[in-house]
Amino acid sequence: MAEKTYIGLAGNPNCGKTTLFNELTGSNGYVGNWPGVTVEKKQAEWKADKSVTFVDLPGIYSLSPYSPEEVVSRDYLVNEKPDAIIDLVDVTNLERNLYLTTQVLEAGRPTVIGLNMCDLLKERGDVIDVPALSERLGAPVVEVSALHNKNLKGLVEKAVEAAREGRANGGTRCFSPEVEDALEAISALVEGSCAPELVRWYSIKVFERDAEAIRPLGLSAEALGEAEAAIKAVEEERDDDAESIVTSDRYDWIADVMEACVKKAPKKLTTSEKIDRVVTNRIAGLPIFVAVMIAVYWFALVAVGTPATDWVNDNLFSDGFFVNAASAAQFDEDDGAWQDMHYADQISGYIAAAEEAGVDTDGVEDAIDATDRTADDDATIAAFEQAAEAAGVVATDVPVTDSDGNYVDTDGGIVTRLDEDGNPVLAAGQELEVLPTVTAADFATAVDTPEPDQHDYEGWVDSIPTAATDALEAAGASPVVQSLVVDGVIGGVGSVLGFIPQIFVLFIALCFLEDCGYMSRVAFVMDRLFRRFGLSGKSFIPMIVSSGCGVPGVLSTKTIENERDRRMTAMLTTMIPCSAKLPIIALVMGVLVGDDNGAWWVAPMFYFMGIVAIIISAVMLKKTKPFEGEPVPFVMELPDYHFPAIRSWALHVWERVSAYVKKAGTIIFAAAVGIWVLSNFGIAGWEGGTGAFGFLPGMEGAPETYMDYSVLAGVGGALSFLFAPLGFGNWMATASTISALIAKENLVSTFGVLYGIGSDASENSVTMWQGFASMFTVGGTLHAGAMCAFVAFNMLCAPCFAAMGTIRRQMDSAKWTAFAIGYECVFGWVIGLLINQLYELVAFGSFGFWTVVAFVLLAAMLFQIFRPTPKWDKKDDKILESLDGQVA
């Protein structure tokens, strides 16, 4: 077996390094257009040769340890000593990229320079003299395109060759004569304390007074004194500090290299620059972003996602479907004929028409409900006729309609009531209509007409719940097992998986915006807005990442240098709707949208609610002692717009969707089983019940509301008082909210279990949407305030357990973690209270104790938002002092 060769991949953010890593290894590392996408090094083997392993380092601008990414990269290059380094350079920003290159060449490892995005450079008309650049850098230089997979094999072969030769480049002589003289003197002091190839690296670090970097050398006080004398001599001659002198000399040398090796075309605006003049415009930038996100959510949740999700829910988890179009058409035709004759539709249609004419039909309905409705039972027909006549309606004339509501024939009869003389009486404004006459014999025939069975037609596929039910019955499974599998597992997990089409379409759109370069512009645009409220654009980057999942979103806060800003961003970033919260939004849309898509705006509204909540929280928190201080400056490269590589785009989408699916198969599965157990076991406390603990549906005389006696109902009921002021103080809503703390998808999964979505193939079962709406229905009217308060609380309160654990690791403090979780829950509760109480005040004129509390809390929030920022003492802020020292 060939000896392993380790090659480190270094480069600036947005230089294409992670794209290169993915292309070489077949990995699906996250590709983004902002700093900190790779926060820790990743490694994988080369697809073409398993003996070569690539290590993807975080994107950095220099090897000075001012950020976590720079520490990770520097420690790997200097201490772990890879066999070779590929320094990937964005040629469209060559001058800035070469600053890191000069430092990498000093790290004592064999290095190859990859000039990436050369295709974009040619579009600009610029020309690079590659041999001359290679000579100046003292290292091999190869032109490549990571996005289009051009010449990548040649780049790697050069790196492998350099690794096997084991010859370090030694670094460039990029400093002025007086600095080089000082470095030579320092080198004499360093020799013997480090590897020969690292003498120049450590000499420069001594000159820069980088105490952390030179600590492993263990230099004596005498040696450090001699080095300090050489450094001070240069500082006095140049009238500047050592670190600034090094930086200035590097850029001066790079400017000479650019002049000698790069021939630039006449300056003209590129396509990206023209687009940026519009999308990053100070006035138009934010409205454009709002419009783009509204379009994305409309596309994902209405235009494409909703029909796809409806198909999944209606076919895979409800009725079943035909794979044969001809059979589907034949079934529809036969189904229509059955509908024409079926007694249940005839009677219900008749009653509806009679009620419209002002007739009391309670007697008819009672008579029908009291019979067995069988074809050979003459009492069924007689009871119907007698009750109809007693109610003043036509007894033997039953209107028959087809599936489209059209009458079958046109012989005689009036749908209305008769007066005492037998003449028709029309309701006000009603026109005389000639309707079909159906005799008692016809009615009996209709009762005897069998319902068409889909299984009799070719190409019918049962839904998952139906297939599972049939299989369990055939296997002789007990009712407990059947309920667990169908109502618990399929009902819970299936209700979550039903949203995959919407989530898939949403991430196709969002990942395209990220990969093409637009989202990096959004971070730039939001920096202007966020800075007004105490945050920087760096805080918006974790929020973009959190739209997929809060865990990587919280992890990406590592790139924020200021500890206070980092903690606040970790607290607030999970308020952005992630993929797990999307089904919760879809619940509201399922109630409000209906068939006309009239409430498509619900989804983007909750997305922007998250952003507004973050801004409000940031303003309030910035005016408190623990979070005071100015936000750190935001510097980020804006890459050129480009169409994403299909493979990287697809991997990006798959990474997010697969994480959702994996969670459904693990956490959601376990939670669904737990919810089923808690909601189906309890004490039989109904009238005539045993009062014993057990499986409630299996107990004799169990009512339809048996869940009201379950363990889950007891727990939810005990805690429901917390949410009563928010308008949803019932045990089902409370239980769903509590289960959502484990994983946000559990909220929908819990509804799936409680409302029996797994058995939705039955025509009389209650659907999840109807169940959700029923919790917020008062007096037959939907209480939109309570429903929106419910969703707002679950959007803004503490995230799932996984994200909480990540916050704990990021905070590195139990106290700060508890504060973060507590703040989110309290803030979400307050917003929910405000929504519900203000809605009740406006819609119902209701005013009470909690209305007063809501106004008091609103006043407190407004005071904190608009009060002047307290003065803070920079001398007491060690973090900012440290940052100021680094900038200096």
Q: 618, 568 in Cβ contact below 8 A?
A: yes
Predicted local confidence at residue 415, as pLDDT: 36
Q: Report residue 494 as tokens.
A: 């299936």
Phi-psi region of 77 (alpha: psi -120 to 50; beta: other; left: phi over 0): alpha
The tens digit of pLDDT for each residue in 603-622 reads: 677 778 888 898 888 888 88
**Which amino acid does the sequence have at 686?**
W
Specify the residue for token string 């369990």.
472
Segments in the chain below pLDDT 50: 1, 29-39, 371-377, 391-418, 422, 424-438, 595-598, 757-766, 874-888
Predicted local confidence at residue 394, as pLDDT: 45
Q: Report residue 431 as tokens.
A: 């026109």
Predicted local confidence at residue 861, as pLDDT: 92
Specify the 3-state DSSP secondary structure of 460.
Answer: strand
What H or E segment, with its residue span, contains residue 681?
A: strand 681-683
Q: Give all domains of the chain, ordered by start, each with its CATH number.
A: 5-165 (3.40.50.300), 177-263 (1.10.287.1770), 335-455 (no CATH), 502-629+644-866 (no CATH)
Q: 564, 535 in Cβ contact below 8 A?
A: no
Predicted local confidence at residue 853, as pLDDT: 94
Q: Is 781 exposed, middle or buried (0-12, 13-18, 19+ CB in 10 A)?
A: exposed
What H or E segment, with its residue span, contains residue 53?
A: strand 52-56
Predicted local confidence at residue 765, as pLDDT: 34
Question: Helices 667-680 and 745-754: crossing angle, nearest 10°?
Answer: 40
Residue 699 DSSP label:
S
Q: Which residues contact 584 (CB under 8 A, 6 or more apart)?
A: 740, 744, 747, 748, 791, 794, 795
Predicted local confidence at residue 756, as pLDDT: 56
Buried b (16+ CB within 10 A) or exposed e, 237-256: ebeeebeebbbebbbebbee
Is the Cα dihedral 367, 370, 376, 379 positive or negative? Answer: negative
CA distance 756 to 675: 12
Residue 160: name the closest of 291, 24, 36 by CA.
24
Residue 57: name the closest of 33, 26, 21 by CA.
21
Question: Phi first, then psi: what are they for 461, rounded to 5°?
Answer: -120, 125
Specify the residue for token string 């704990």.
808
611-615, long-range: CB < 8 A, 24+ apart: 611/543, 611/576, 613/572, 613/575, 613/796, 613/827, 613/831, 614/535, 614/543, 614/572, 614/573, 614/575, 614/576, 615/529, 615/530, 615/533, 615/535
Predicted local confidence at residue 767, as pLDDT: 54
Specify the residue for token string 């803030």.
827
Q: Report residue 249 as tokens.
A: 């000399």
Predicted local confidence at residue 837, as pLDDT: 92
Q: 150, 144 in Cβ contact below 8 A?
A: yes
Q: 516, 271 in Cβ contact below 8 A?
A: no
Q: Report residue 520 as tokens.
A: 């990096």
Q: In the beta sheet, which residues pair with residue 89?
A: 115
Specify the 3-state DSSP secondary structure of 624.
Answer: coil
The tens digit of pLDDT for each residue in 110-146 reads: 999 999 887 777 777 788 888 998 888 888 999 988 8
Q: 483, 680 in Cβ contact below 8 A?
A: yes
CB atoms within 10 A of CB 815: 8
Predicted local confidence at residue 834, as pLDDT: 94
Predicted local confidence at residue 599, as pLDDT: 55
Estimate to the nearest angstrom the gap between the alpha carbon of 53 and the chain centroid: 32
Cα-atom radius of gyration of the chain, to the nearest Å? 35
CA distance 860 to 385: 68
Predicted local confidence at residue 779, as pLDDT: 61
Buried b (16+ CB within 10 A) or exposed e, 154-178: ebbebbbebbeeeebbbbbebbbee
CB atoms within 10 A of CB 465: 27
Q: Report residue 377 as tokens.
A: 């039972």
